[in-house]
Copies of this chain bind each other. A is one copy, B any other.
């Protein structure tokens, strides 16, 4: 079995990079600094569908993503979540939240807050994140 990215996840986000376990993607909702980590393994739904060593690797990658998001955006709070009620394929949101953002203090999902990136902005944000993830 091969890893195939869920079509909705693919449509709603852009590729940033592949880490050891996960693919990192940028959410297309420009209202938030929002990335998504998707383990590149077939048929994963729950965190506990991963083996213990895969969970530990996921934790490492969540830690890296959290440090990067905190350093780049200096948010009020990070939101780190696996929900999966709409897209069941296992994916973890890492979102930099601000007490000034349009959904604060509510969660971003179902907030009704959505903005489109201009193409140049999206490319700029992707480059920023690629560089951060690729740093030694």
Contacts and interface: CB of A to CB of B under 8 A. Distances in A.
A63 B52 contact: yes
Interface of A: 45-48, 52, 55-56, 59, 62-63, 66-67, 70, 76-86, 88, 97, 104-107, 109-111
A81 B80 contact: yes
Contact of A47 (B62, B76, B88, B106): B62
Given A56-B56, A79-B81, A47 B70 contact: no
Closest 5 CB pairs of A and B: A81-B81, A85-B105, A106-B110, A48-B66, A80-B82
Contacts of A78: 46-48, 82
A59 B55 contact: yes
B63 A85 contact: no
